[in-house]
Amino acid sequence: MSNDTEVEVKDCCGAFAEIGSIIRPDDTELEFTITANDKALLEEKKDKITAYIAETFPAVKSTFVADSELTYIVTVSFDVTAEKMIFEMNLRHLMA
């Protein structure tokens, strides 16, 4: 087994990335905050995220911890990194 690291850079649509830095097998936990101007809207966002997770990633565990009256800290634990990446790509649309 070798400790040498080979950097492989790929070009796709004008974007550059090092393969291996994109997907790490142990990168399966995501933490983010959700906020709203009122409690009802915050709960609506929470319900939307919870429903999406249940439908798309049924084995995934998520927790919502109140940071303040209008903020939750959300932790989502995925089985594999690819699930986390898919969730992150859709998170912007879920939060809109």
Q: Is residue 3 part of a domain?
A: no
- Look at residue 18 in the predicted model and tell me its pLDDT: 57
Nearest to 56 by CA among 16, 24, 94, 12: 94
Q: Which residues of the chain have pLDDT under 70?
A: 1-22
The contacts of residue 39 (CB under 8 Å, 6+ apart) are: 69, 70
Q: Please tell me the distance from the alpha carbon of residue 60 to that of residue 84, in angstroms, as a whole number.
A: 10
Q: Please tell me the distance from the alpha carbon of residue 56 to that of residue 1, in angstroms, as a whole number.
A: 38
Nearest to 30 by CA among 90, 84, 92, 93: 84
CATH number at residue 63: 3.30.70.860
Domain assignment of residue 67, given as a range: 25-95
- Look at residue 68 in the predicted model and tell me its pLDDT: 96
- Look at residue 2 in the predicted model and tell me its pLDDT: 43
Q: Is residue 86 part of a domain?
A: yes
